[in-house]
Amino acid sequence: DAKTTQPNSMESNEEEPVHLPCNHSTISGTDYIHWYRQLPSQGPEYVIHGLTSNVNNRMASLAIAEDRKSSTLILHRATLRDAAVYYCILNNYGQNFVFGPGTRLSVLP
């Protein structure tokens, strides 16, 4: 089963920042924290991943707690196209990704 805990759903207003939390209290030292999202009727899409340090890319930022037991995906300016299910997944050395139910993000215009 998935080793992460996420809220079932969140809402955001368009053009505002969104902080999606994830708890992973049993994370091991070699687990990477991956975030994927799934838009309706599409395959999962990579968002960002990291090990210990905070990460930024063109899509989002990943803030990792110092003890690594939680992380937050930050979308800096939500758009309607960001409405999706967001998955936080721990992954280690090429193992398969275990998807939980994720967080369904709704973006209101």
Partner 1 sequence: EPEVTQTPSHQVTQMGQEVILRCVPISNHLYFYWYRQILGQKVEFLVSFYNNEISEKSEIFDDQFSVERPDGSNFTLKIRSTKLEDSAMYFCASRERVNTEAFFGQGTRLTVV
Binding site for partner 1 (CB under 8 A): 32, 34, 36, 38, 42-46, 49, 51, 87, 91, 93-101
For 94, the token pair is: 């090429």
Select 49 or 63, whichever has its Cβ closest to partner 1.
Answer: 49
Burial class of residue 47 in the structure, from the number of CB atoms within 10 Å of its CB (0-12 exposed, 13-18 middle, 19+ buried): buried
Nearest in space to 103 (alpha carbons), one of 1, 12, 20: 20
Select 38 or 72, whichever has its Cβ closest to partner 1.
Answer: 38
CA–CA separation, 8 and 102 (whole Å): 6
Q: Could you tell me the smallest distance in angstroms from the CB atom of residue 97 to partner 1?
A: 6
Q: Could you tell me the smallest distance in angstroms from the CB atom of residue 40 to partner 1?
A: 12
Contacts for 78 with CB less than 8 Å, ≥ 6 apart: 12, 13, 14, 15, 16, 17, 18, 105, 107
Q: Could you tell me the smallest distance in angstroms from the CB atom of residue 79 to partner 1?
A: 19
Select 14 or 46, whichever has its Cβ closest to partner 1.
Answer: 46
Q: Could you tell me the smallest distance in angstroms from the CB atom of residue 46 to partner 1?
A: 4
Select 39 or 108, whichever has its Cβ closest to partner 1.
Answer: 39
